[in-house]
Amino acid sequence: MKRTKIVDIFAPELIGQEVSVKGWVRTRRGNKHVQFVALNDGSTIKNIQIVFDLEKFSEEDLKAITTGSSLHVKGLLVESMGKGQTCEVQANEFELYGTAPVESYPLQKKGHTLEFLREIAHLRPRTNTFGAVLRIRSALAYAIHTYFQNNGFFYLHTPLITASDCEGAGAMFQVTTLDVENPPRNEEGKVDYTQDFFGKTTALTVSGQLEGELGATALGAIYTFGPTFRAENSNTPRHLAEFWMIEPEIAFCDIVENMDLAEDFLKYCIKYALDKCRDDIEFLAQMYDNDLIARLEEVCNSEFVRLSYTEGIEILEKSGKKFEFPIYWGADLQSEHERYLVEEHFRRPVILTGYPKEIKAFYMKLNDDNKTVRAMDVLFPKIGEIIGGSEREESYDKLMKRIEEMNIPMKDMWWYLDTRRFGTVPHSGFGLGFERLCLFVTGMTNIRDVIPFPRTPGNAEF
Ligand code: ATP
Ligand code: MN
**CATH 2.40.50.140 segments of the chain:** 6-98
CA atoms within 13 A on the CB side of 97: 11
Q: Nearest 5°: phi and psi at 167?
A: -65, -30
Task: State which H helix or E strand residue 338 sits in.
Answer: helix 335-339
- The SS3 call for residue 295 is helix
Q: CA nearest 236: which of 372, 385, 414?
A: 385
| CA–CA separation, 281 and 122 (whole Å) | 23
Strand pairing category for 384-391 and 372-380: antiparallel
| CA–CA separation, 140 and 129 (whole Å) | 17
| CA–CA separation, 35 and 52 (whole Å) | 5
Say how many Å lie between the CA of residue 50 and the centre of ligand 1. Answer: 46
| CA–CA separation, 157 and 212 (whole Å) | 9
Q: CA nearest 96: which of 125, 60, 127, 122?
A: 60
pTM higher than 0.85, yes or no?
A: yes
Buried b / exposed e over 167-187, threshold 16 CB at 10 Å, is bebbebeebeebeeeeeeeee
Residue nearest to atom 18 of ligand 1 (CA): 387
Question: Ligand 1: which atom is nearest the Cα of residue 232?
Answer: 27
Q: Nearest 5°: phi and psi at 279?
A: -60, -45
In contact, 378 and 349? CB cutoff 8 Å: yes
- How far separated are the first and last CA of the chain, in Å rounded? 36
Q: CA nearest 274: which of 301, 253, 250, 249?
A: 301
Type of residue found at 347: R
pLDDT tens across the length of the chain (462 residues): 899 999 999 999 999 999 999 999 999 999 999 999 999 999 999 999 999 999 999 999 999 999 999 999 999 999 998 777 789 999 999 999 999 999 999 998 888 999 999 999 999 999 999 999 999 999 999 999 999 999 999 999 999 999 987 666 679 999 999 999 999 999 999 999 999 999 999 999 999 999 999 999 999 999 999 999 999 888 899 999 999 999 999 999 999 999 999 999 999 999 999 999 999 999 999 999 999 999 999 999 999 999 999 999 999 999 999 999 999 999 999 999 999 999 999 999 999 999 999 999 999 999 999 999 999 999 999 999 999 999 999 999 999 999 999 888 888 789 999 999 999 999 999 999 999 999 999 999 999 999 999 999 999 988
Say how many Å lie between the CA of residue 389 and the centre of ligand 1. Answer: 11
CA 305 to chain centroid: 24
Measure the CA dihedral 328/167/408/360, to 10°.
-20
CATH placement of domain 125-170+206-449: 3.30.930.10
| CA–CA separation, 165 and 158 (whole Å) | 15
Residue 413 carries which DSSP code?
A: -
CA angle 277, 278, 281 (to 5 degrees): 85
Residue nearest to atom 10 of ligand 1 (CA): 169
Q: Is 245 in the pocket of ligand 1 (CB under 6 A)?
A: yes
Say how many Å lie between the CA of residue 192 and the centre of ligand 1. Answer: 33
In contact, 22 and 41? CB cutoff 8 Å: yes
Task: State which H helix or E strand residue 94 sits in.
Answer: strand 87-98
Residue nearest to atom 11 of ligand 1 (CA): 388
Does domain 6-98 fall into CATH 2.40.50.140?
Answer: yes
Question: Ligand 1: which atom is nearest the Cα of residue 389?
Answer: 11
**CATH 3.30.930.10 segments of the chain:** 125-170+206-449
Residue 380 carries which DSSP code?
A: E
CA angle 350, 210, 190 (to 5 degrees): 120
